[in-house]
Amino acid sequence: MLLRYRGGEGMLAWAFHRISGVAIWAFVVLHVIDIFLVGAAPDAYDTLLVIYATPIGIVLEWLLGAAVLYHALNGLRIIVMDFWPALTRFHRQLWYLNWLLFLAIGVPVSWVIFGQFARAMGWWPR
């Protein structure tokens, strides 16, 4: 449906917003429970932290950051168009601006997350 329906940028922006939103919701459920464990079962939390620090965990952490950043920027785009409807004409340009900001912020942040990944893999010293 995502690739066959010719909805263009507006539909893709909506689909990515929905997918990233549901993914972030799922992480929030997990994250509130893991932080609850800090008080209820600190050892269980520390065990979970070791799992989070594995290479797979760090890739998921990186994807979470990407989902949050996309959802935040596109959410701002939605708010701008909701309260300034004239700008809806430029919804494509605003979406491309989103991706520009996404890369400008995401690339340096990725470098730091990659540092965590490299340490988890033993490529870089701790």
Partner 1 sequence: MSGRYGRAGRSRPQSGGWELAVWYLMRLTGLGLFVLVLSHYLILHVIYDPAEQTASWIAEVRWSSLFWRAFDWLLLMLVLFHAFMGVRIVVADYTRGGVRTVTLMALYLLGIVLFVIGTLVVMTLPNVVPDA
Nearest Cα neighbor of 20 from 86, 71, 72 is: 71
Is residue 118 within 8 A of residue 124, CB to CB? The reply is yes
Amino acid identity, position 5:
Y
Q: Which two tokens stand for residue 59?
A: 């890739």
Among 12, 60, 63, 78, binds partner 1 (CB under 8 A): 78
Q: Which two tokens stand for residue 11?
A: 């539909």
* 4 DSSP 8-state letter: T
Can residue 2 be called a binding residue for partner 1 (CB under 8 A)?
A: no
x/- string (CB under 8 A) for partner 1, residues 15-54? Answer: --xx--xx-xx--xx--xx-xxxxxx-xx-xx--x--xx-
Is residue 71 within 8 A of residue 17, CB to CB? The reply is yes
Count of residues touching partner 1 (by CB under 8 A): 46
Quote the CA–CA distance of 90 and 56 in Å, as a whole number.
39
Can residue 121 be called a binding residue for partner 1 (CB under 8 A)?
A: no
Among 12, 60, 63, 91, binds partner 1 (CB under 8 A): 91
- The dihedrals phi and psi of 122, each to the nearest 5 degrees, come to 85, 10
Among 81, 101, 102, 106, binds partner 1 (CB under 8 A): 81
| Residues that bind partner 1 in the complex, under the rule CB under 8 A | 10, 14, 17-18, 21-22, 24-25, 28-29, 32-33, 35-40, 42-43, 45-46, 49, 52-53, 61, 65, 68-69, 72, 75-76, 78-79, 81-83, 85, 88, 91, 109, 112-113, 116, 119-120
